Structure 1
Amino acid sequence: MSGTEDAPGAPGIAPTWTSSAKDLVTTAVEGAGRLWATVGFGIVNEVYWPSTGQPQIRDLGFIIGFDDGSWVEVKRARRYVLSTPRPYIPLPQIVYEGPGYRLVLEIVPDPQRDVLLIAWRLEARGRLYALLAPHLGLSGLDNTAWVEGPELLARKGDRNLCLLAEPAFSRGSAGYVGFSDGWQDFARHGRMTWAYARAEQGNVALMGELAGSAGVLALGFADSTEGARLLARSSLCSGFPAAREAFEQSWGIWGRGLELRNSRPDLARMAQLSAMVLKVHEDRTYPGAVVASLSIPWGNTTNDPGGYHLVWTRDAVEAGLGFLAVGHTRDALRMLDYLLATQEPDGHWAQNRFPDGRPYWNGVQLDETGFPILLATKLLEGRLIERTPAIEAMVRGAAAFIARNGPLSPQDRWEESAGISPFTLGIEVAALVAAADFAEADEDAYLLSLADYWNERIEAWTFVEAGGPLGEPGDGGYYVRLAPEARDGALEMPIEVRNRVGLTVKAAAMIGLDFLYLARLGLRRADDPRMRSSLAVAERVLKVTTPCGPAFHRYNLDGYGEHEDGSAFDGTGIGRAWPLLTGERGHFELMAGGDPTPWLEAMACMTGPGGLMPEQVWDAAPIPERFLYPGKPTGSAMPLVWAHAEFLKLLTASERGAPHERLEAVRARYDGRIPSASTWHWRRTAPFTRLPPRRELLIEAPVPFVLHLGFDGWQRIEDRPSTPLPFGLHGIRFGRDELAGHTSLEFTFFDPASGQWSNEDHRLALDA
C-alpha cells in the first residue's frame, strides 16, 4: 500500500490552524465518546479530544481525482449544501455537486468511543482521496505520521490517531506540509504518485486513496497507537447505522425538552440551533466546562494553542443563563458546579482556563467574579436549587473579593484595559446586593452599603456631561466606555487603545454599549434621560447598517478585527461589528417598551452557511476573494457561545417581557432608581473630595492603618487607629453628628506595619 521511503521536505512549512468560519459544531450528547468536531468550508477541520480544550487535527478533507487526469479539492470548490435532521440535532449531511461529480458525506461522532465516523458516497468517474493534517498535542509542530498497511497513523507524545476506511485504503502516503503532502502531489502531478511511508517530527499530513464508490472512514484517538487503532476498528465493526441512530436519538430527547413560548417558526429554529451550540460546547470529560468557541480566530494565520477553546467565566455564565431561559436547568446546574470547583482561594476566577481547570491567562475581571453570584441567585430565586454550604461559600468568597478590590477592575469585559466600565460596575453592584442574602453577621449591611455607594457614583465615575468630545448640540451627555480611575477628573485622563500601536485618547472620547446593562440589571430605568442621550451618541458613533440590519462596534477606535484590506488581525486591525451587541441593543429596546423582533431578525441573519453566529461581521465593502461580505462573518471566532446565548435570552425576554438577568433582589432594592447612599466609602483607589450633606463617611483600606486627621484646616488634630471591617478590610467611620458643623476634614495615613507615613495629605470638603 505504501513504499518504504521516508518523505522529503522536513519539517514542512510553518503550521497554522484552519479558518474559524465554521458551518457546524458537533459532538455526542451522551455516552463514553469524548470527541468534538467542527465543519468548515464543507469539510471536517478541528477535531477536539479528549476535551473541548484540545484540538488534535487541522482538517480532514477530500480530493476527487477524475479518470481524465483532472481533480478537484472539495474545500476549495465550495459547492456544497449542508443539512441536519433538526436544528437541535448536529448530524450533518453534506452534499457536494460540481461538473461530473456528486459527493455525499454524513458525519457522526461515535457516542460510545473517541472516534469520528464519516460515511461517504461518490458519483463520479474517478476516485476519492482523504487528506488528514494531524495537529496532535495542540500544535502542528513535531508530529510524526506514517502508513502501516491499510492504516494512516500519527503520534505526538501520548496523543495518537488512527484513520481507517471500510473498504480499506488501497494506497496511503505520509508527507510534510508544503513539500511532500498529498495536496502537493496532486498540484504537481494531477494524481496520487507518492507513497511515502513516514514523515518524522514536523508539520505532517496523510493521504489515503479510497476504494469503491461508497464507504466509511473512522478517525480514532487514544493515548497509544494500539488504542487509537482498536477504537477505530471497533467503530467500523459496530457500524455507522448504529452510531447514527444512537446519536440522533439522544440529541432528539435533549432537544425536545427545550421550552420556547409562542416563537415565530424561523426564530424558534434559530433558538433551537443556538441551544444546540451551547450544549455542544460543554465538555463531558469535565462536565459544566463550557468553552467560548470551538474555533481559533483567524486560525489559518496562527499556531496559537489557546484560541477560544477555553472557559471564560463570563461566557460560561451567559451560556448557563441561556440554558435557563429555554428550560434546561440541569445544564445550567452543571456549569454552576464547575464554577464552584474552579474558584480561586481568594474568591475570584482566572481570566480563562482549560476545561480541566488549569488557568491559561491569569488576568482579573471583576465582572467574571460577579457573574457566578448572579447565576447562583437566579437559580435560587427560581427555586431550582437549594442553598448548600458550597454555594454559600462561593458567593461569600466572590463578594469578599469584589468588596476588597472594587470598584476598579484590572481588566474590562473586553479584556483590554483597567478601570471602571458601566458594564463591570453594574455587575459588581448587582452581585453585592445578591450576596448580602448569603452574608454572615455584619457583612450584609456592609455589602449593601458598598453597593448603594458604588451605584450612586456610577455617573460621577463614568458619565460625561453635555459638551463632551463625542457630543453634538442638543446631546445630554453620555456614559463612556471606560474610566481609567475612580476620581474627579479621570474622564480627562488618557487611555491607551489596545491593538492600535501608540494611540492614546481621553476617556471622555470613547463610548461603548456597556451602559445598556445598567437598565438590564435594574440599576437604571430605560427612560432615564442619561440612558437615552447615551444611546443617541452610541448609535451615531458605533452603529453600522448591514444588509442584515443594524450592528455595533464594541467602542470607537477598536482595533480588534481585520485590516482595511481584509487581511487577518495580527495584533492590530480595525474592530468590526459584533452581533451580540445587536442583542444587547434589542434588550434595551424591549425595556424601553419597543419591539425587539427586528433585532432578533438581524442576529439570525448575521450567520454563516450553517446558521452559526460569529463574534464579528464584516461592515465594509465586500472583498469576495477573502470571503468577506457585509453583515456576514469575518475571520473572528465562529460560533461564539456568548452570541448564541444572547439570542436565546433576547428571544425569551421578548416572550416574557423582562430581561432574564434581572434579579428580584436587585429589583426590590433599586427598581431602576439611583440610591442616596447613607455612607460614602473613601478609598485611596477610589477617593473623592466632597461629601454631600447628611452622609456618613467610612475611610477604609485593605490593611490596618492610623489616620492622622484634623477638621477645618487641620484643627483638633488627632491620631485614630482603624478597626476591622468585614472581608479583611479596615476602616474608620465618621457619623453624621461628628461631621456636622465642620467645613472640611484633612487627613493622612500612617502604616504601623512599616512605620511609614503617607507622603500625601487629603482634604475632604464637608457640605452643610
Structure 2
Amino acid sequence: MTCEAGSQSLAPGAPGISPTWSSSDKDFVTSALGIGRVWATIGHGALNEVYWPSTGEPRLRDLTFYLVAKDESGNWLDLKRERRYRLEQPDPACPLTTVVHEGEKDGVPYRLDLEFLPDTDRDVLLIRYSVDGPWTVVAIMAPRLDGEGVDMTAWIENGALMAAGPSTSPTICLRSRDGFAQASVGFAGTSDGWQDLNHHGRVTWSYARADHGNVALTGALTAAEGVLALAFGESPTAAQTLARSAHATRFEDARDRFRTQWTNWNAGLAGFDAGPSLKTGKQVSKELTAKVRELAIRSATVLKAHEDRSYPGALVASLSTPWGSSTNTLGGYHLVWPRDTVLTAFAFIALGLPDDAVRILGHLVATQCPDGHWTQNAYPSGEPFWTGIQLDEAGFPILLAAKMREEGIALPHGTTDMVRRATTFIARNGPSSQQDRWEENPGINPFTLSVAIAALVAAEPWLDADAAAEALDLADDWCFRIEEWCWVDHSRWTEATGATGHYIRISPDGGRKTGDVSLGNRNGETIAVADLVSMEFSYLTRLGLRAPNDPHMIETLKVVDHVLATATPSGTIYHRYNEDGYGEYADGAPYDGAGIGRGWPFLVGERGHLALDQGEAADPFLATMTACASSGGLLPEQVWDTDPIAERGLFPGRPSGSAMPLLWTHAEFIKLLTARRDGRPAERLACVAERYAKSRPPSASRWRDGAPLASLPHGRDLVIEDTRPFTLHFGLGGWGAPQDRAARQGAFGLWRVHLSADETAGHDAVVFTRAHGDAWEGVNHRVTFEQEDRNGRG
C-alpha cells in the first residue's frame, strides 16, 4: 500500500506483516551487573533482541539505524544491510562496545558511532550516537511486548516513542535527550519508517498511533550527536520516568559505573593463560596465544552476562533464537537447560568464581521437581517450557554439588534433599532416558549413562548407609555394562576404518543394538543403530569411567575422526552425529524443522579434552574454537562447513544461522583451557575417578524393564527389580520346578527379588514372569548364566 506523507492520524495497514525475531548471527551481548535488568544483543551493526526484566523475556526485535542525506537528493542508507561496520571493544573483561559504521554513498562519506550501555541502576539501555557528514540519523524500533508481536499498540507521548502490549504493562519508551525532529508510528511492512524511506528517501509520515498489530516506531534525530534512552517499565509513566532519569545522568558517569562493576567481577578470575607459546607440532605465533587468552576472558564475560538478576543463578542457554529472522517461535534458546547451566557452573569453578556456582546450584535446588528430576528446560522463573525428561539433567546437579564439596565451597541450604531426590530419580528410572542430550531419541547412550553413573557415586556423602551402598552397587553394575549397551563389533564404519568396533550414539528399546533408529529433523528417516556414531562416548573418559588409552576409546576415535570431522579454514570441526538434520539446507536456506546438521565448535572442545587426556596437545583445538568466534568474541552453536554462499552470509568455518552465543560452547572453551592448565577436566570428581581407576569387586547385575539382562556374568548375583510391588514366578534351568517369591522393598522405593550366585550355581539360566497384584504381565523372560569369567571390568 502507499501512505500519504504528513498524515496526522491513526496509522493505516493494520495489523502489518507476520512478525519474526532477529537473526541469531550476533556480534555482541551485554548487560550491567547492578540492579538494572536489561540484556542487549548486537548483530549486523544494529541492536537486536533486548530482554527485560528477565533473560527469558525478549521485548524488542530490533532497533536499527539509517542515514538520510540532509540535501534533497533522496539518498539514504540502511546500515544493517550495508554491513560496513566494525566493533571497537578495547577491554575483553568489560562487555562495552562501540559499533562504527563507515563508508560512502554516491561519493559522500559517512561515519556513525553507536555505543550501547546498559544502565547499572535502571531498566534502561543507553545509546550514545554521533554522525559525521551531511547525514541525519533515523532510528526505527520494532518492539515485541506481547510475546507474539501481533497485538501491540504504539504511540507518541511527550516527544517519546512508546509501545505496549495488549495492556499498558509492559511498556517500552525510546527517548532522545535532544528530542526527535520528526516521529511516526505504524505497522511493520505497511506503514513503518522503512517503507517511508523507501518511498520518499526521507521521513515524511507522522502517524500518531497504531493499534493492535505488529508495530514499528520511527524517529529522526535532531542533533548530530546525543544519547538515546531505551527504557522498560510496568506502565507508560514508569518507562518515561526511567528514560528521563537516565538522561539526567551524565553518560560518562554511567559508563564509569558499568566498567567498575565488571572490573571488580573480573578481578576474581583465576589465571588461565594459554602459556608462553602454543605448540601444534610447530611453534605458533604469540598473536594466537594472545587471541586464545582474550577469548577466554571474553567467554567468562559472556557467561556472566547471561545470568538473570530477577532470578539469580538462572542462566539461559543463549540470548538468541536460532534462525530467528525466519521464525516466530516463542522459546528460542532464552531458556534454562539444567545441563548447560551446570556445565557453565563448572567453568565458573575452574575460573575461581565459586559464588557464581553457588547461585546456580541454589537456583537448581529451587526448581527441582518433586520426584527429583528437572524439566527439559524452563524460563528463569522456573516455569517449565518443554517438559521432556533427560536423565543427565537429573545427574548434573549432583555432580556440581559434589564438585563444590571437593573444592570446599559452602553448599546452599537444601542441597542434601536435592541430591537425595535426584539420586532416587536416577536409580528408579535409569539407565535409559526419555531423551538424549540432543533431545531427539529415547534409549541408553554413553553420555547420559556416564553422567548417571558418576552421579550415583558422587551422591554417597548425602545418602544414608543403605541408600549409599545401593547407589554404589547400581553404579558399578551400569559401569560394567556400558559396552553391553553401547558398543558394537561391526558396522559400516568398522569396514571403512579398520576399527575393531566402536561406541554408538544410542541403543533404543532398553539396549537394543540391532535394527534401525529414527533420525531427528529428517522427516522420518532412519539409520541402522550400529551405524549411528557421535561424540557421546567422550564423557566416559571425561568423568573417569574409562581410561584414555582404553582400546574401546582408541578404536572409537578412529571412527569419529573419519565420520564426524570436517576440515574448514578455521580448523577441523565435528558434527553431532552422522545424518544429522539440525542445520541449514544445502542451499543455505534456514533450518525449518529439517535440514543438514553442521559443525559444532563445542564438539571441538570435547575432542580436545580427549586429546589432552591421551597426552596430546589441546592447542590445535583451542585455536580452532578461537577461529570460529564472531568479531565480538561470541562462540556459535554451529559453523558453516561447506562451500561459501556469500549472499546468505555463510562461509566455511564461520558462524551459521544457529544460536550465537551458545553458553555450552563458551563454557567448553574455558574448561578445555583450564584442563590444559590443571591436567584434568573440570568435571572429573576424585571419588568417581578413584573408584573406576582399577577393577572393582563384582556388583549384582540388575534386570529391569528399561534395561533387561540377556546373560548374567559368572559369579554375580541377579536382582530383578521394579518400581511396583510384584511376585516373581521363576524356574532355575527351566519351568520344571517353578517357585514364587515376593519382592521386598529396598532403597529408593524399588522392589526387588535377589537371586544369589550360590543359589543359581549349577544352572544354565533362569526363566521368570511377574505378577503385580492379581495381574500377570503375560510374558516370559530368560536370563542365561555365563559359565566362565567375562574379560572386562568388575
Query: Would you say same fold, with TM above 0.5?
Result: yes
Q: Which runs of 4+ in 1 moved over 6 A?
A: none
- Counterpart residue identity of residue 567, structure 1: A
Say whether residues 1:351 and 2:372 are aligned partners.
Answer: no
Offset, 1:468: 4.9
Q: Return closer, same or farther for 1:407/1:279 CA change in 2, 3 Å cut-off.
A: same
* Counterpart residue number, 2:281: none
C-alpha distance in 1, partners of 2:603/2:578? 14
Say whether residues 1:38 and 2:60 are aligned partners.
Answer: no
Contact 2:269–2:351 (Cα < 8 Å) also in 1: yes
Q: Return closer, same or farther for 1:183/1:213 CA change in 2, 3 Å cut-off.
A: same
Contact 1:564–1:574 (Cα < 8 Å) also in 2: yes
* Counterpart residue number, 1:579: 601
C-alpha distance in 1, partners of 2:524/2:663? 32
Q: Return closer, same or farther for 1:529/1:662 CA change in 2, 3 Å cut-off.
A: same
Offset, 1:310: 0.3
Q: Return closer, same or farther for 1:209/1:449 CA change in 2, 3 Å cut-off.
A: same
Say whether residues 1:756 and 2:775 are aligned partners.
Answer: yes
Contact 1:2–1:149 (Cα < 8 Å) also in 2: no
After superposition, where does 1:80-91 map in structure 2 within 5 Å? Answer: 80-91=85-96
C-alpha distance in 2, partners of 1:242/1:664? 48
What do the CA deviations read for 1:29-74 (whole angstroms, capped 9, x no partner)? Answer: 1x22111000001111111000000000110111100123201011
Contact 2:533–2:578 (Cα < 8 Å) also in 1: yes
C-alpha distance in 1, partners of 2:413/2:58? 36
305-314 vs 740-749, greater mean Cα deviation: 740-749
* Counterpart residue number, 2:119: 110
Q: Return closer, same or farther for 1:503/1:467 CA change in 2, 3 Å cut-off.
A: closer
After superposition, where does 1:174-573 map in structure 2 within 5 Å? Answer: 174-263=185-274, 264-386=289-411, 390-468=414-492, 471-472=495-496, 474-487=498-511, 490-573=512-595
What is the TM-score with the length of structure 1 in the denominator? 0.98
Q: 1:492 is paired with a residue of what secondary structure?
A: coil
- Counterpart residue identity of residue 398, structure 1: A
Offset, 1:493: 2.6
- Counterpart residue identity of residue 721, structure 1: A
Q: Return closer, same or farther for 1:281/1:261 CA change in 2, 3 Å cut-off.
A: closer
What do the CA deviations read for 1:69-119 (whole angstroms, capped 9, x no partner)? Answer: 201011111111112231120111111111111111111011100011001
Contact 1:45–1:57 (Cα < 8 Å) also in 2: yes
C-alpha distance in 2, partners of 1:756/1:140? 54
Say whether residues 1:8 and 2:29 are aligned partners.
Answer: no
Offset, 1:495: 1.0
Offset, 1:238: 1.4
C-alpha distance in 2, partners of 1:334/1:437? 21
What is the TM-score with the length of structure 2 in the denominator? 0.94
Query: Which residue of 693, 718, 722 maps to 1:701?
Result: 722
461-470 vs 346-355, greater mean Cα deviation: 461-470
* Counterpart residue number, 2:790: none
What do the CA deviations read for 1:389-428 (whole angstroms, capped 9, x no partner)? Answer: 6111111110100000000000000011101110000000
- Counterpart residue identity of residue 351, structure 2: V
Q: 1:449 is paired with a residue of what secondary structure?
A: helix
Contact 1:524–1:674 (Cα < 8 Å) also in 2: no
Unaligned stretches of 5+ in structure 1?
none
* Counterpart residue number, 2:164: 155
* Counterpart residue number, 1:608: 630
Say whether residues 1:685 and 2:706 are aligned partners.
Answer: yes
C-alpha distance in 1, partners of 2:178/2:7? 20
Offset, 1:2: 8.1
Contact 2:89–2:97 (Cα < 8 Å) also in 1: yes
After superposition, where does 1:58-137 map in structure 2 within 5 Å? Answer: 58-66=61-69, 67=71, 68-99=73-104, 100-137=109-146
Q: 1:16 is paired with a residue of what secondary structure?
A: coil
* Counterpart residue number, 2:655: 633
Query: Which residue of 763, 777, 787 maps to 1:742?
Result: 763
- Counterpart residue identity of residue 734, structure 1: L
C-alpha distance in 2, partners of 1:743/1:605? 59
C-alpha distance in 2, partners of 1:170/1:106? 21
Q: Return closer, same or farther for 1:257/1:619 CA change in 2, 3 Å cut-off.
A: same
Unaligned stretches of 5+ in structure 2?
275-288, 788-794
Q: 1:164 is paired with a residue of what secondary structure?
A: strand
Q: Return closer, same or farther for 1:468/1:629 CA change in 2, 3 Å cut-off.
A: closer
Query: Which residue of 30, 33, 38 maps to 1:26?
Result: 30
Offset, 1:137: 2.8
What do the CA deviations read for 1:701-727 (whole angstroms, capped 9, x no partner)? Answer: 000000111112213322110000111
276-285 vs 138-147, greater mean Cα deviation: 138-147
Say whether residues 1:51 and 2:54 are aligned partners.
Answer: yes
C-alpha distance in 2, partners of 1:721/1:34? 58
- Counterpart residue identity of residue 261, structure 2: S
C-alpha distance in 2, partners of 1:49/1:474? 55
Q: 1:715 is paired with a residue of what secondary structure?
A: coil
What do the CA deviations read for 1:588-611 (whole angstroms, capped 9, x no partner)? Answer: 000000000110000011011211
- Counterpart residue identity of residue 18, structure 1: S
Offset, 1:4: 3.0
Q: 2:478 is paired with a residue of what secondary structure?
A: helix
Contact 2:272–2:673 (Cα < 8 Å) also in 1: no
Q: Return closer, same or farther for 1:165/1:3 CA change in 2, 3 Å cut-off.
A: farther
In the alignment of these two chains, the number of paired residues is 761
Contact 2:474–2:699 (Cα < 8 Å) also in 1: no
Q: Return closer, same or farther for 1:149/1:470 CA change in 2, 3 Å cut-off.
A: farther
Contact 1:468–1:477 (Cα < 8 Å) also in 2: no
Q: 1:337 is paired with a residue of what secondary structure?
A: helix
**What root-mean-square deviation, in Å, do the aligned CA atoms of Structure 1 and Structure 2 show?**
1.3
C-alpha distance in 1, partners of 2:162/2:494? 59
C-alpha distance in 2, partners of 1:666/1:612? 33
C-alpha distance in 1, partners of 2:752/2:212? 61
Offset, 1:767: 2.7
* Counterpart residue number, 1:660: 682
Offset, 1:674: 6.2
645-654 vs 505-514, greater mean Cα deviation: 505-514
Contact 1:175–1:198 (Cα < 8 Å) also in 2: yes
Offset, 1:3: 5.3
Offset, 1:266: 2.1
- Counterpart residue identity of residue 114, structure 1: D
C-alpha distance in 2, partners of 1:653/1:111? 34
C-alpha distance in 2, partners of 1:307/1:474? 42
Percent identity, please: 49
C-alpha distance in 1, partners of 2:610/2:786? 37
* Counterpart residue number, 2:792: none
374-383 vs 256-265, greater mean Cα deviation: 256-265
- Counterpart residue identity of residue 782, structure 2: R
Contact 2:491–2:531 (Cα < 8 Å) also in 1: no
Q: 1:238 is paired with a residue of what secondary structure?
A: coil
Q: 1:113 is paired with a residue of what secondary structure?
A: coil
C-alpha distance in 2, partners of 1:760/1:357? 42
- Counterpart residue identity of residue 341, structure 2: A
C-alpha distance in 2, partners of 1:62/1:502? 44
- Counterpart residue identity of residue 355, structure 1: P
What do the CA deviations read for 1:257-296 (whole angstroms, capped 9, x no partner)? Answer: 2112442432211110000000011000000000000000
Contact 2:714–2:786 (Cα < 8 Å) also in 1: yes
C-alpha distance in 2, partners of 1:546/1:766? 51
